[in-house]
């Protein structure tokens, strides 16, 4: 190889690295966020009976997350449960956490269970649920349902419409764990972390496994993705399709069928196709989010909800995804929300029928679990 050919190959490599990095920052925009957020204190944002926790992903890498329990008389709250399970497991969940009263929960305060009398055993953190002996404290009750919430492409778990959704779910007696992907919020990474479909899905997988380690074995888990989080959710389902312990259901709120289809709806992308191969760049950037392929293999119930006046992800893309699910005999149901409701992309939780939809979802999951 001559000097010119070598220089040309290096130039192409540099262009590819730069272009894929830019593409990931166009689709995933964690840097678009309010300044001075206090993510370690959910109570600051009006989220009560909640704690801030850290979820290990890779060595030296953690996710920030909120664990939110419903307000149920007579049941142990989030802080006490977290003290118990982390005490018996000999860990403190990473950095100091704050409960809903703003008090730090640290390893020195973990005194609920005696380690000599209680042992937390799990066949494998990656594959199975926890089995407790001696101390029967879990993060959840046997008949409860947990929502693992995977948000969209901007901001953090504290964004306004997300907080209002948590409250709605909490009011219905549901447990919620809301996480920020690596590169987002107070999770590992920063601007230079190259978020991708694979990294976000792995964050979701490890969050699910974290839940399975600490919740009661009979508790149901529903993975709820919104916007870009729907692509993460279907990829997560694909990653878990061959393991014994999988989520009990999936909710796709304002989904797209693939990132290629979604990007194709933007005028700027249509113009850019005359200059660059956008589809190829999405593939090279690990940003295809091919939900219409992943959804075909999901055996658990899938619930899709989409507002007809969504101006970010067209209603038609969610409908197309549902049609693919039906074609492949998936256990799927579609909840369309009319234009007259003015719900847009972020406000489906405001629909008058929202509580009824959630109750139907939970009821269906309970029936499916017993079948």
Decide: 247 and 148 in contact? Cβ < 8 Å: yes
Catalytic residue of the set 100, 227, 261, 291 = 227
Q: Is 207 an active-site residue?
A: no
Buried b (16+ CB within 10 A) or exposed e, 96-110: bbbbbeeeebeeebb
Catalytic-labelled residue, pool 41, 180, 310, 346 = 310
How far is it, in rounded angstroms, from Cα 329 to Cα 296?
8
69 vs 74, more confident: 69
d(CA 282, CA 262): 11
Distance CA 362, CA 70 (A): 15
Q: Is 310 a catalytic residue?
A: yes
The predicted structure's pLDDT at residue 94: 41
Q: Which CATH architecture has domain 42-370?
A: 3-Layer(aba) Sandwich (3.40)
pLDDT > 70? residue 180: yes
pLDDT band at 277 (very low <50, low <70, confident <90, very high): confident
At 270 the pLDDT is 59
Picking from 68, 332, 347, the residue whose alpha carbon sits closest to that of residue 227 is 347
- Which of 117-126, 182-191, 274-283 bottoms out in mean pLDDT, i.e. has the lowest? 117-126
Helix orientation angle between 160-171 and 354-370, rounded to the nearest 10 degrees = 60
Q: What is the pLDDT of residues 26-40, one digit of tens each?
A: 999 999 999 999 999
Question: Reduced to 3 states, what is the DSSP secondary structure of residue 316?
Answer: helix
- Rounded to 5 degrees, φ, ψ at 64 are -85, 140
**Distance between CA atoms of residues 16 and 22, nearest Å:** 10
pLDDT band at residue 150 using 50, 70 and 90 as cut-offs: very high
Distance CA 112, CA 242 (A): 36
pLDDT in tens, 12-30: 778 778 889 999 999 999 9
Does residue 151 have an active-site annotation? no
What percentage of the chain has pLDDT greater than the value 70?
A: 84
């Amino acid at each position: 190889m001559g000097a010119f050919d070598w220089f040309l190959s290096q130039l192409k490599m540099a262009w590819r690295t730069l272009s894929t990095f830019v593409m990931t920052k166009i689709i995933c925009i964690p840097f678009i966020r309010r300044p001075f957020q206090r993510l370690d204190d959910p109570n600051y944002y009006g989220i009560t009976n909640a704690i801030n926790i850290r979820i290990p992903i890779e060595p030296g890498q953690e996710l920030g997350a909120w664990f939110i329990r419903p307000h149920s008389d007579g049941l142990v709250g989030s802080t006490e449960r977290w003290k118990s399970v982390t005490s018996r497991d000999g860990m403190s969940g990473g950095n100091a956490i704050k409960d809903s009263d703003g008090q730090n929960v640290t390893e020195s305060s973990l005194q609920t269970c005696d380690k000599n009398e209680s042992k937390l055993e799990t066949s494998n953190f990656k594959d199975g649920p926890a089995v407790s002996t001696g101390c029967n404290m879990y993060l959840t009750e046997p008949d409860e349902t947990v929502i693992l919430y995977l948000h969209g492409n901007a901001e953090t778990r504290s964004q306004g419409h997300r907080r209002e959704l948590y409250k709605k779910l909490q009011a219905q007696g549901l447990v919620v764990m809301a996480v920020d992907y690596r590169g987002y919020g107070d999770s590992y990474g920063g601007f230079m972390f190259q978020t991708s479909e694979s990294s976000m899905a792995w964050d979701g997988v490890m969050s699910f496994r974290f839940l399975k380690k600490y919740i009661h074995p009979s508790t149901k888990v529903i993975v709820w993705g919104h916007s870009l989080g729907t692509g993460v959710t279907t990829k997560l389902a694909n990653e878990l399709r061959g393991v014994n312990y999988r989520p009990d259901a999936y909710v796709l709120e304002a989904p797209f069928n693939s990132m290629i289809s979604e990007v194709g709806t933007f005028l700027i992308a249509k113009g850019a196709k005359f200059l660059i191969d956008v589809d190829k760049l999405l593939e090279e950037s690990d940003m295809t989010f091919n939900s219409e392929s992943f959804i075909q293999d999901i055996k658990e119930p899938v619930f899709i909800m989409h507002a007809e006046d969504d101006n970010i992800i067209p209603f038609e893309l969610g409908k197309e995804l549902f049609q693919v699910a039906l074609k492949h005999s998936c256990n799927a149901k579609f909840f369309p929300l009319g234009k007259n409701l003015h719900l847009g992309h972020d406000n489906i939780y405001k629909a008058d029928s929202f509580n009824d939809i959630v109750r139907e979802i939970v009821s269906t999951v309970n029936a499916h679990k017993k079948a």
